[in-house]
Amino acid sequence: MKLLRHAPLVLIALALGAGPFAAVAGAAGGTATGMTGTTGTTGTTGSSGSSGSSGVTPTITMQRSMTYSATTAATPYQTSRKNAGTPNSSVVVKNPKTGAVESYGNDAITYNVPSSALNALGQSLYLQNCASCHGVQANGVPADGTAGSYPNLIGLGAATVDFWIASGRMPAADPRSIQAERHSPRLTNAQAVAIASWVNSLDPAYPAIPTPNLKGADASNGEALFALNCAACHTITGGGDALASGTYAPSLRNIPGYQVVEAIRTGPGNMPRFTGNLSDYQVRDIVAYVTGEIQHPQNPGGLGLGGLGPVAEGFIGLLLGVGLLALVGYWVGERE
């Protein structure tokens, strides 16, 4: 597996160990991202950013049909770079009574904090589907009291929890598997957001749940960023590839755009978290490339063959070519 400045450049989740809600592994700080201008530092905490909040009262809506309102984050993940996945953004909408951040972002991506009104439903769903492994307090301590058996979900942010549930990786079919596989989700999008809301209420953190706006996105720039940061593991066609110790980089051909953002911003499994060193505009460009060219390839040269690559294409060419020549030779020989 290729390495670049000590971090595997992956885009989408690698679910390791027990698989569930793995906290970010490896620092994104120092990870080469190319074309980013600056390099952020993962793990820094600070006070809630409020850049751009003065006098701003726009209504920001979520494309997934849920209601959102305030959740106060005591020590949210923060970065000195503006518009890079935290409330240090161009637009910050706060609750006029509590001052808590309700949503933040810009014209590229909007991040919405789940409404506290969802917490009761979220707790009920969590106890039914998640508590047997992660514990009733979401701290990774199951009913038998063995601390550290499963990942602690506290302080990971709503986007992290939402990604694992909405992508179908959680609840895990086999908690003992090396890597949780993507399946059809057992819970609806609304239920995933409700669970994320309750877990995040235990220790509020960022990033919130994103909604990318692909209007104005530059897919060609997204391809360049993808080639530098993601293709080493996912391949340039996004088909995924085997890694080490039974793990693999998953295919990106069936993942919705908002989950691409969640994976980039939260770094599930072994993937580094790209909060701080990729701007929202760069992430939007990557999403445009993944949901466009990768998921709907044009194949101007002819049959795409699933984007398997030159080795597989060469093998098929030899098989058909040599096979056809053999048949022609056999036919000519029979005539003589």
Q: For the residues 231-249, what does the mean pLDDT come to?
A: 86
Quote the pLDDT of residue 336: 59
pLDDT tens sequence across 158-170 = 999 999 999 999 9
pLDDT at 299 over 60: yes
pLDDT at 233 over 60: yes
Same domain, residue pair 230 and 309: no
Q: For the residues 195-218, what does the mean pLDDT come to?
A: 95
Same domain, residue pair 311 and 244: no
Q: For the residues 315-320, what does the mean pLDDT come to?
A: 82
Exposed / middle / buried, residue 329 (Cβ in 10 Å: 0-12, 13-18, 19+) = exposed
Distance CA 247, CA 239 (A): 15
Quote the pLDDT of residue 146: 79
Cα 158-160-161 angle, rounded to 5 deg:
70
In this predicted model, which residue has the larger pLDDT, 179 or 310? Answer: 179
Quote the pLDDT of residue 110: 97
Q: For the residues 123-136, what does the mean pLDDT come to?
A: 94
pTM attached to this predicted model: 0.70
pLDDT at 222 over 90: yes
Quote the pLDDT of residue 207: 93
Exposed / middle / buried, residue 308 (Cβ in 10 Å: 0-12, 13-18, 19+) = middle
Least confident of 66-80, 88-102, 140-154: 66-80
Same domain, residue pair 65 and 11: yes
Quote the pLDDT of residue 6: 38
Quote the pLDDT of residue 60: 38
Q: For the residues 57-71, what does the mean pLDDT come to?
A: 40
pLDDT at 5 over 70: no
% of the chain exceeding 70 in pLDDT: 72
pLDDT at 122 over 80: yes
Evaluate the omega torsion of the peptide bond into residue 207 and state whether it is cis, within 30 degrees of 0: yes
% of the chain exceeding 90 in pLDDT: 45
Quote the pLDDT of residue 29: 37
Pairing between strand 248-249 and 209-212? unpaired
Distance CA 252, CA 11 (A): 9
Same domain, residue pair 240 and 319: no
Same domain, residue pair 208 and 320: no
- Structural domains counted in the chain: 2
In this predicted model, which residue has the larger pLDDT, 284 or 27? Answer: 284
Mean pLDDT across the chain, nearest whole number?
A: 78
Same domain, residue pair 96 and 188: yes
Least confident of 51-60, 75-84, 288-297, 317-326: 51-60
Distance CA 232, CA 251 (A): 13
Same domain, residue pair 203 and 111: yes
Domain that holds residue 330: 305-335
Same domain, residue pair 2 and 115: yes
pLDDT at 137 over 80: yes
Same domain, residue pair 280 and 153: yes
Same domain, residue pair 11 and 128: yes
pLDDT at 30 over 50: no
Least confident of 46-55, 189-198, 277-286: 46-55
In this predicted model, which residue has the larger pLDDT, 144 or 106? Answer: 106
Quote the pLDDT of residue 11: 38
Same domain, residue pair 248 and 310: no
Is 247:178 a contact under the CB 8 Å cutoff?
yes
Same domain, residue pair 28 and 141: yes
- Give the number of other CB atoms < 10 A from CB of residue 76: 22
Bridge partners, 91 (sequence order) = 105
pLDDT class for 272, splitting at 50, 70, 90? confident
pLDDT class for 310, splitting at 50, 70, 90? low
